[in-house]
Each structure stands twice: as structure tokens, then as C-alpha cells.
Chain A
Amino acid sequence: MSKLVATRRQILKFGAVGGSALVLGGCDAFNFLADRNGSVRGVLEKANDLTYRVQRLLIGDALAPEYAESEIRQGQKPNGSTDPQSNEYLALKVDNFADYRLSVTGLVETPKTYSLQELRNMPSRTQITRHDCVEGWSCIAKWTGTPLSVVLNEVKLKSEARFIVFHCYDTMGSGRPPRANYYESCDLMDATHPQTILAYGLNDQTLPVANGAPLRVRIERQLGYKQPKYVHTIEAVHSFAGIGRGKGGYWEDRGYEWYAGI
């Protein structure tokens, strides 16, 4: 009728085999997946294209959630570069960025430059949003800036422009490979999204150096590494070839997905 089929020894043996398979698996057996140029990794990365397509289908022009003043409970946690040391940047910082100019260039009808004051005199948007770091943490803060769409309307994108690239003053990494300039990019859907702003204000103050002064981009429907700080040039491009290692961003060049809506 009913009987205890397995002996204790069988259970132990089964457990030992299962356990060692698990440990073996985690150990080094799958480290080959870390090879950025590996063929298996190439297949796995296809899932990110699928995520991008599906989210683009679902997301439309939907806004990222905005929060109440009462939910600003702490300063915006600085992460990544917090104090750029390039001579160019230090020279601007000394004068409180009075000589700073944002260049808008690339595939545009009329390339332009903007001083901070000019940007502040343009229409602005203020939003209290949640910053989600790829590491897993979140922080709510109030951002004020010029909608990127206002700037893009002034310079007029050429029809072949497909992406907007943001070039930054800060460099990342150390030793080998040599330090590289931070840069990021987004598609035109995010570039023209109403919440995509060139932020110069944080929590009702001037944007601090640790958070990207004088200008940082907010692309609210993506993770923190898509919010480049210390931006000096905005470039409209058709492809990422010839920029960095060609993947569309500093972290993308190092194995992170270009679409960071997930």
C-alpha cells in the first residue's frame, strides 16, 4: 500500500550530487558567459533587443511616475563620477560655469551653443522622480531643467538622425584600459519625451558638482547610467560607429545593455 521507498543513504547521495552540481554551476563553469564577444553571450543579448521592442510597444509616451514633495526624504545619492578633474572642467568650475557652453551638433540643420543662462531662460520643467540605479537602489529627487525637445526643435534634426549622443567632461576607469570619457545616448522617442530634460537644478538648488553640474540629462524611464552628468555636447547621429567602442555609451561599451528601461 504505502512504503518508504528511499533509504536515508539514497536521500543523502541524491542531495550530495544535486548540491555539488549547483556549486559547480555557480563556481566557474559559466564564466565564459562574461566574454563580451562570446557567441553564446551574443545569443543571450538578443533578449535585450526583445525587451526594447516590447517595452517600446507598451510604453508609448507614458510618463515615468512622479512623486509628492513629501517623498523627497534625502539628498540625491551621488554615484559614479562625483568630482571631474579634467583641466577643461576645473577651469569652468572656478568661475561657477559662467563660461560653460553646451554645444548641440551633428545631424542638425543649425548647430548651436547655449550658455547656462540661455538654457535657464528657455521653457523649463520640474519633476519629482525616482532615480533607479542599475545596482538596485532608488532615490527620489526633484529635477529642474530645459526639455531636450525644446532644444532639438531649435536646431532641427535632419531626417537621417536616429539617436542623440551626450558627451561628458568626466572620465571613468583607471589604469588599464586607459580612462575614457563618459558618454550616453538615447533614441528619438526618449529624446523628445516630455520628461527628458537638461537638468540644471536639483531639489530647488543649483545642480551640485557631485550630481553633474552644470548640466545633466534626465531620461526618466531608464536606469541611472542613462542619466549622463557634466554634459558638454549633444550630438545627433545616425549610428554609434566611431564613438567610444561603438555601443552607444560608456557602460554599454563594457557589457551593459543599451536600452536600460529594465
Chain B
Amino acid sequence: MVPPQARDDADSAGSLVYRQSIWTRLTHWIWVIALFFLLLSGFQIFNAHSTLYLGQQSGFAFDNDVLRMSAVRTPDDLVGRTAIMGHEFNTTGVLGVSGPMDDRQIRGFPSALTIPSYRDLATGRVVHFFFGWVFVVTLFAWFLASALNGHLRRDLVPTGRDLADLPKDVADHARFRFHHTGRYNVLQKLSYCIVFFLLFPTIILTGLTMSPGMDAAWPWLLDLFGGRQTARTIHFLVMALLVLFFLVHIFMVVAAGPINELRSMITGWYRTDPKNGADAAP
């Protein structure tokens, strides 16, 4: 329950505000580690069967796949193919077929993106489930702490005024004009809300839907997502959205001032813009 405090610094630099609580910072960095391992062990697991389907089951005698990474042997080459909703792309070297020219391997994602680097589903699963627990427990801790310390209400849920500012905020972002006020802007709030309230819960629940034990315990999971194989596809899709979020997130940190942003996520203190600082401090 630490309210934002302002600390006066040199006038020219704007003031430092205490922006991130220990809970926010700690969970943030645990997620960095957990999601890194979840992603790369997830690619290992995906590679064991590099096709995604819609429905309860996988069509071997019928066609219900929406994404397929495969390899085709031509007279003088091994070609990697990725088919998305029936549209085929040559992805040799990255998806389907990868590795050095003299040692081509047939695998969905390349060895640089999997843990371990070689095919080992058992290890991929051990790593994935360990960090899955870390991720879920940390998320619960974050929700609880953020509800209690006001982070959710104060910083994350957009207010009516935020939404009214949306067009202006979009225009500012498009022009790379960033305001450092100690508060999240509405685009930040919306993207964090999407991650916390939609993407994180969905990737956890679709993961659970793939568990035959959980399907017995909570059969509604299958109804919610339209079958185990659809859940596997959504799990993959949400992964892709989280990777997209990560790329934009990193880009914004760098563009908005990596030292200041990193400091606030490590120490909690954030330097506001010189003139806006007074407005932002409560």
C-alpha cells in the first residue's frame, strides 16, 4: 500500500516519482524468466507434432488442420513448408526444415528456438510444466497484491477520461511523442489489461484444456474452447500474440527511454518530464 511519492530533483530533469511497487517489479522479472522458458520449451513440445487442428481430435482421415509445418523431399533438396489455413509458404531454413546446409533437420521450429536444442519432448515438458506453475502462482500473487495495493484500480483499469483521450493518445504514439507523467497512458492501460485479463488467463486455461486429467475434472474447459485440439491452436495463437506484445513492449521501452523505464522496473523510481512532473505527482 505504497502511495506514489514525489522526490524533487534538479529542476531541469523533472522529478522522480515512485511508480512501481515491489510486487509489480518482482512479478515482472519472474515472468520474464518464466515466459522465456515457457516459450522455448513450448516450441520443443509443438515440434513433437507440428500441426494444429480445430475440434476435439486431429484429422488423419479427414482435414481439419489450420497450421502445418512439414518437410518435402525434392530430388536435390529438403524443402520446409508451412501451411496456414490452406495457404502454403516456403519456410526452408526456419520452419519445417532448418539447420546448416550439410546437416538439414526436419523440425517445426529451429533448434535455436527450442529447449533443449535437439529433439527431447520429455525435457521440454518437464521445463514447461515447472515454469507453468511459476507463471500461474506469480500471476495469482500479482492479482492479489495489485487488488490490495490499488495498482489495478489506480494504474491499470482505464477511466472514462482515459478512453476519451484515446484518439489523442493514438496520434501521439504514432508521432513517437511520449509523455512521462508517472501514470500509464490509455494505450498502455489497454494493452496491459488485454495481457492480464485476456491473454494470460486464456493461455493458462487452454494449457489446462490439453490435460486429459483436467478435462475429466473440469469438462467445461472443452466446451469453452471448442475441443482439445482447438484449445491447442488457441494456446499457440495466444503465444504468438504475447510474442508480439513482447516485441512492441521492448520497442516502446527503448523508444521512451530505456534507462528511465528500466530504472522504474528495477528500483521503482521513474523520472517524469520536467513540466508535466508537477501534474503527475499526486
Contacts and interface: CB of A to CB of B under 8 A. Distances in A.
Interface of A: 1-6, 10-11, 14-15, 18, 22-23, 25-28, 30-31, 33-34, 41, 43-48, 50-51, 55, 58-60, 62-65, 67, 71, 73-75, 77, 130, 132-140, 220-223, 251, 254-257, 260-262
A221 B40 CA distance: 27
Contact of A73 (B62, B113, B213): B62
Given A5-B256, A11-B254, A221-B216, A139 B222 contact: no
A261 B211 CA distance: 6
B115 A30 contact: yes
Contact of A221 (B45, B172, B210, B212): B212
B29 interface: no
The list of the 3 closest CB pairs from A to B, nearest first, reads: A261-B213, A74-B61, A255-B122
Which residue of A62, A133, A257 has the most chain B CB atoms within 10 A of its CB atom? A62
B126 A65 contact: no
Q: Interface of chain B, helix or strand or loop or mixed?
A: helix
Contacts of B117: 26-28, 31
B212 A222 contact: yes
Interface of B: 36-37, 40, 43, 45-46, 48-49, 51, 53, 56-62, 111-118, 120-123, 125-127, 129-130, 132-133, 172, 176-179, 210-219, 222, 228-229, 232, 250-251, 254-258, 260, 273, 275-276
B255 A59 contact: no
A132 B227 CA distance: 12
Nearest to B211: A262
A27 B255 contact: no
A55 to B, nearest CB: 4
A239 to B, nearest CB: 22
A221 B218 CA distance: 12
A66 to B, nearest CB: 10
B262 to A, nearest CB: 11
Contacts of B51: 137
B179 A2 contact: yes
A6 B258 contact: yes
A34 B121 CA distance: 10
B193 to A, nearest CB: 24
B215 A47 contact: no
B55 to A, nearest CB: 9
Nearest to A32: B116
7 contacts: A22-B113, A25-B36, A27-B112, A43-B130, A58-B218, A140-B57, A255-B122
A192 to B, nearest CB: 15
B56 A2 contact: no
Contacts of A63: 216
Given A33-B126, A64-B212, A130-B56, 15 more contacts: A1-B179, A3-B178, A4-B255, A22-B36, A31-B116, A45-B126, A51-B129, A58-B214, A58-B218, A59-B217, A60-B217, A130-B57, A132-B210, A134-B125, A251-B122
A65 B36 CA distance: 33
A256 B122 CA distance: 5
Given A11-B251, A55-B217, A74 B60 contact: yes
Contacts of B275: 1
Contacts of B56: 67, 71, 130, 138, 140
Given A71-B56, A251-B122, A58 B217 contact: yes
Contact of A65 (B60, B127, B216, B251): B216
A130 B228 CA distance: 9
Nearest to A223: B212
A257 B61 contact: no
B219 A2 contact: no
A75 B58 CA distance: 12
Contact of A33 (B61, B123, B260, B273): B123
Given A5-B255, A31-B116, A55 B213 contact: yes
Contacts of A58: 214, 217-218
A255 B254 contact: no
A64 B257 contact: no
A10 B261 CA distance: 15
A235 to B, nearest CB: 24
B213 A59 contact: yes
A31 B112 CA distance: 11
Contact of A64 (B111, B112, B216): B216
Contact of B276 (A1, A11, A62, A139): A1
Contacts of B178: 2-3, 5
B10 to A, nearest CB: 17
Contacts of B59: 73-74
